[in-house]
Amino acid sequence: MPERAPLERIADFAEVNLGYSDQDALAEAERCLQCRDPKCSEGCPVGVDIKSFIARILEGDAAGSIEVIKERGPLPAVCGRVCPQEEQCEASCVLARTGEPVAIGRLERYVADHDLAGALEHRCRPAADEPTGRRVAVIGSGPAGLACAGELACRGHEVTVFESLHVPGGVLVYGIPEFRLPKEIVASEIEMLHQIGVKIVTDAVIGSIHTVQELLDEEGFDAAFIGIGAGLPVFLGIPGENLNGVYSSNEFLTRVNLMRAHEFPKSDTPVWRGRKVAVLGGGNVAMDAARTALRLGAEEAFLIYRRTEDEMPARREELRHARAEGVDFRMLCAPSEIVGRDGFVTGIVVTRMELGEPDSSGRRAPVCVVGSEFEIECDTVIVAIGTRPNATLGKAAPAVGLDRRGYVVTDDDGATDLPGVYAGGDIVTGSATVILAMGAGKRAARSIDGWLASRG
């Protein structure tokens, strides 16, 4: 896909990938074999009819193509940008066996952007069933909540989404940088949910204004879906994490992405602009943090990861973009202490690692090299090693069953142990992908629809 040059793009927050032209899209679509028994759709967590949407591109029918996608796939302009298609639908493409699979994600983005470019009244709007008179509360407006809300609205139910922040979108707006997912794209996709009847209430912290049970018992809702994600940051528990200049990736990215701290003092929220920034972690969030630090003016941004690049969970495209933009990869290093002076970070002590036998995840376990500690100079440390459930869940739904880690326990359909209360996304599975959360939201919506129907 065409993309902006590295030296150009690190000077601002505009999108890196430029999208396919009509000619690019047609050329890529022509690579599709239109298999009699397509396996690509089996690799899609929401079951998009990929063969058919690509066939519409070949016919020059972009409007028909987006209709096919929206039959199953919520928020296609989002999914086309941030979903790891290379591990899902594209991995199932027949062409992947011998070479490069069809770029399904890029074609989805092309079709979705074509739809977004039109006036709102001409955009593809999913068909909605006749009103059922049933009301469903959706807690959280992230990928799982939005997918659940859209599916329920299409099935004729009255849906109200409660979002604790002042802008809907959840991790799509606070966690993913503008250069990967423009907030205008998210807003446009959410606007279509408004068009099919979804109501979104912001600044509404369930657990403070109401519990889930009160929504059912006192506010007139017939069912509820919990899709609040797992946004509480995890730290390493090493000395020095309380020094000034240490951020969780959640706070750092939220300040920039949602609160637009990169525009301070034009915006109200500041952010520490480090000169030498160390990011701890190897996932997409770590890549986002390092690349954001460079755009804020850092002279150096480096990733500290205890395994090798081959074991990093980040998407290969994100690794490539980060390296091209100047992010320095410090592999086989494990942090043991953050050091400072006068309360501020001055460096981080790391220990060299080597890979041993595979651990329970199948990746080779890192083993410390005795006596190999050394210090890396830095003035900022961003911890991007994962998240866990927020304790506010206990206030919002104290009767919902949780596992030992604090995640909601559900059956395969998303049902909790409370009648009429369902859950899905990261609050059930732990940190996962946007499309997996959407898939969980849609499955739960179908289950809610069935449960409501069974009640007459």
Q: With pLDDT > 70 as the criterion, what percentage of the chain qualifies?
A: 100
- For residue 311, the 8-state DSSP code is G
Statement: residue 313 has pLDDT above 80: yes
How is residue 90 written in tokens? 């594209």
Its pTM stands at 0.93
What mean pLDDT is predicted for residues 127-133? 92
Statement: residue 393 has pLDDT above 90: no
Cα–Cα distances in angstroms (integers) from residue 69 to residues 55, 72, 109, 187, in the given order: 12, 6, 11, 19
- Per-residue confidence (pLDDT) for residue 261, from 0 to 100: 93
Q: pLDDT confidence of 319, banded at 50, 70, 90?
A: very high
Instruction: Give tens-digit pLDDT for 252-280.
Output: 999 999 999 999 999 999 999 999 999 99
Statement: residue 164 has pLDDT above 80: yes
Taking each helix axis from N to C terminus, what angle separates 22-29 and 50-58, rounded to the nearest 10 degrees?
A: 120
For the ranges 196-200, 206-210, 394-398, which has the lowest average pLDDT? 394-398
How is residue 106 written in tokens? 């890029």
Contacts for 28-32: CB closer than 8 Å, 24+ residues apart: 28/102, 28/103, 28/106, 28/107, 29/54, 29/57, 29/58, 29/102, 29/107, 30/58, 31/95, 31/102, 32/58, 32/102
* Dihedral sign, Cα of residue 33, residue 34, residue 36, residue 42: positive
Q: pLDDT confidence of 452, banded at 50, 70, 90?
A: very high
For the ranges 212-221, 318-327, 384-393, 418-427, which has the lowest average pLDDT? 384-393
Statement: residue 365 has pLDDT above 90: no
Domains, in order of start, for the chain: 6-122 (1.10.1060.10), 135-231+389-454 (3.50.50.60), 234-387 (3.50.50.60)
How is residue 144 written in tokens? 């799982």
- Per-residue confidence (pLDDT) for residue 367, from 0 to 100: 92
Q: pLDDT confidence of 398, banded at 50, 70, 90?
A: confident
- Per-residue confidence (pLDDT) for residue 304, from 0 to 100: 97
- For residue 17, the 8-state DSSP code is B
